Structure 1
Amino acid sequence: MAQRWHSRRGAVVVVAGLVAGVCTGAGGCSAGGSDTEDGRAGDPVPLLHRAADTLVRAGTSKARTSMEMATGGTRVTIRGQGVYDYRRQLGELKVLLPQDPAGTVEHRPITELLAPGALFMKNRGAGVPEDKWVRVETAALSDGNLVTGGATDPFAAAEVLRGTRTATYVGRTEVAGTPVRHYRGTADLALAAEGASAGGRGPLRAAAKGFATARVPFDVYLDDEGRIRKVRHRFSFVNGRQEKAVAVASTTLLYDFGAPVDVRLPASGDIYAGRIAEDTGGAEAAAGGKD
């Protein structure tokens, strides 16, 4: 099955079919109410600017991701799970595509290796040998790979917060049983790129230019050590076939900090250099690109 990864105008999500109905994102929060004595003192913007650096100090974690796109009454959800090393900015995710509309076709998970400036994919689809990887330069993608891979790189998700323009403290709650502080705000991708790591600067600059807007609303949940436990971004892109912007919600859930991570990037001989087949069954179709 072939899939399109990006177009000249806007980002294209890795989607193999449309899922009818409403699907929930990865992870969840239990209601905890607001806390009038905690987290509301001072401006939260500097705290969120430092969230990515806090993850670097934490070292590693496990991650679950969810990417949702709703259009025409249909919701497409792509899920991922894996591990990430924030010091080396290396991660590995197994990304599961949704079923076809009939619900009869099961897709093999796509293995994604995340590295500074690059995305490696295995089980990419038609035209790629099973034992080969596809390499994508993330700075060359119009969304900086915040959307294209079907999962947002966990460190990139944190670096978006470096561009926080405004933020408010919502209150105390829980994420997967962990007490957290909930903040809501808006980040600017161009500003995020200015303060990003060397590997994240190019992709974020590309996203700032390629999305329908560089403004990214977010909800983020920090534990008592300042580590991101959950972050949800709402991106907006214009697909290559129409002018209407498509909204994509990307959720990243981080847990089990300190988990062992051993990510090895493929050797050059294991990277596919041939032509990658395309079709129109991905996000362009979901966004109304075909009837």
Structure 2
Amino acid sequence: MPGSIRRAAVVAVAAVAVALVGGCSGSGATAGSPSPQNAGASTGGDPKALLAEVPAATFAAGSVRFEVTMQVSSGGRDTTTSGTGTFDFARKAGDLTMAAAGGPASEVIMDGGNVYTRPAGESRWLQMNGAAMGGQFDPAQQLDTLQKVSNDVRVVGTEDLRGEQVTHLAYTIDPADLVESSGTTGPAAEMLRSGGPIPGDLYIDDEGRARKAQTTMSTTVGGTTSTATVAVDYLEFGVPVAAQAPDPSTVDTLGGS
């Protein structure tokens, strides 16, 4: 049914976006996190150790205003979806508005372990339990998963990003390791395993915080290969986040009637 398809699409985009935003938040932070310029002293020059220190520095900012762009190529068609939102690392709460190029916007609310989506033109929200999706909506678990599956971490160099000098890290994620570490099961796990290695890029500012994260993933379903590149830009830290769960009377549960 068209409504169900639209909702599924919004959920998929929300999953990727929250995984990237939450993936750079930890369950706590330590004072004086080293910046990329002096991190070598504490990490022994190990790029993977440098990557591991980024979440705490980002989490210490408290919250972030971000922008997400998702480009999908599938079956000879290219689609770009983009949006903006805010996220509170401590509350694991945030909001996101997403729209395909030239199309109406859909809304997403993240509240702890739950994610609510409302496609454009609909009055009711659809609720999902993030834990049922292998914890991909849990920032703390995403951090743990990132550290477990990021291989071949290397420093690419220093670059200019929106007028700011940032350190560029690159890494590769093995899909099989991702499935095992995240606890993802069922069709989602099969989709992950169908693709090859997942390249990722992380751009870090002089305070050790993530300023941009990007991944590219390919999956094959029914003989059709799809490639999605998702980029999240961390635009402003320490912003107010007013996101709240919707009124229960306006919410439907995934799988429910």
CA distance in 1 between partners of 2:139 and 2:79 (Å): 20
> Are the structure 2 counterparts of residues 80 and 191 from structure 1 closer, same or farther at C-alpha, using a change threshold of 3 Å?
same
Looking at secondary structure, tell me which structure has more helix per residue.
Answer: 2
CA distance in 1 between partners of 2:254 and 2:38 (Å): 55
Alpha carbons 2:64, 2:86 under 8 Å: kept? yes
1:233-259 alpha-carbon deviations (Å, 9 max, x no partner): 1122233xx134311111000021111
Matched position secondary structure for 1:256:
strand
Matched position secondary structure for 1:272:
strand
Query: TM-score normalised to the size of structure 1?
Result: 0.64
**Number of residue-to-residue matches in the alignment:** 227
Alpha carbons 1:62, 1:84 under 8 Å: kept? yes
Q: 2:215 aligns with which of 227, 233, 236?
A: 233
1:177-222 alpha-carbon deviations (Å, 9 max, x no partner): 2210011111246656888xxxxx5569985554124842101101
Shift in Å, 1:93: 0.6
Match of 1:63 in 2: 66
AA of the residue aligned to 1:182: H
Q: 1:165 aligns with which of 130, 151, 158?
A: 151
Matched, 1:261 2:241: yes
CA distance in 1 between partners of 2:177 and 2:240 (Å): 32
Shift in Å, 1:123: 3.2
CA distance in 2 between partners of 1:45 and 1:113 (Å): 32
CA distance in 1 between partners of 2:84 and 2:209 (Å): 19
| Structure 2 spans left out of the alignment, 5+ residues | 14-36
> Are the structure 2 counterparts of residues 133 and 181 from structure 1 closer, same or farther at C-alpha, using a change threshold of 3 Å?
same
Shift in Å, 1:115: 3.3
Shift in Å, 1:121: 1.0
Sequence identity (%): 25
Shift in Å, 1:231: 0.7
1:57-93 alpha-carbon deviations (Å, 9 max, x no partner): 2211100000111134432000010111112211101
Match of 2:77 in 1: 74
CA distance in 1 between partners of 2:232 and 2:55 (Å): 13
> Are the structure 2 counterparts of residues 202 and 258 from structure 1 closer, same or farther at C-alpha, using a change threshold of 3 Å?
farther
Alpha carbons 2:126, 2:254 under 8 Å: kept? no
Q: 1:119 aligns with which of 115, 118, 140?
A: 115
1:4-42 alpha-carbon deviations (Å, 9 max, x no partner): 2559xxx9856xxxxxxxxxxxxxxxxxxxxxx987871
Matched, 1:2 2:3: yes
CA distance in 2 between partners of 1:139 and 1:243 (Å): 29
Query: TM-score normalised to the size of structure 2?
Result: 0.72
> Are the structure 2 counterparts of residues 74 and 245 from structure 1 closer, same or farther at C-alpha, using a change threshold of 3 Å?
closer
Alpha carbons 2:204, 2:211 under 8 Å: kept? yes
> Are the structure 2 counterparts of residues 55 and 38 from structure 1 closer, same or farther at C-alpha, using a change threshold of 3 Å?
closer
CA distance in 1 between partners of 2:185 and 2:154 (Å): 23
CA distance in 1 between partners of 2:109 and 2:62 (Å): 17
Matched, 1:138 2:130: yes
Q: 1:252 aligns with which of 224, 232, 255?
A: 232
1:107-143 alpha-carbon deviations (Å, 9 max, x no partner): 2x11101234322012356xxx51x2111223445x8
CA distance in 1 between partners of 2:51 and 2:11 (Å): 28
CA distance in 2 between partners of 1:179 and 1:230 (Å): 12
Alpha carbons 1:139, 1:206 under 8 Å: kept? no
> Are the structure 2 counterparts of residues 194 and 116 from structure 1 closer, same or farther at C-alpha, using a change threshold of 3 Å?
farther
CA distance in 1 between partners of 2:57 and 2:186 (Å): 22
| Structure 1 spans left out of the alignment, 5+ residues | 15-36, 100-105, 147-152, 196-200, 278-291
Alpha carbons 1:138, 1:203 under 8 Å: kept? no
Alpha carbons 1:154, 1:252 under 8 Å: kept? no
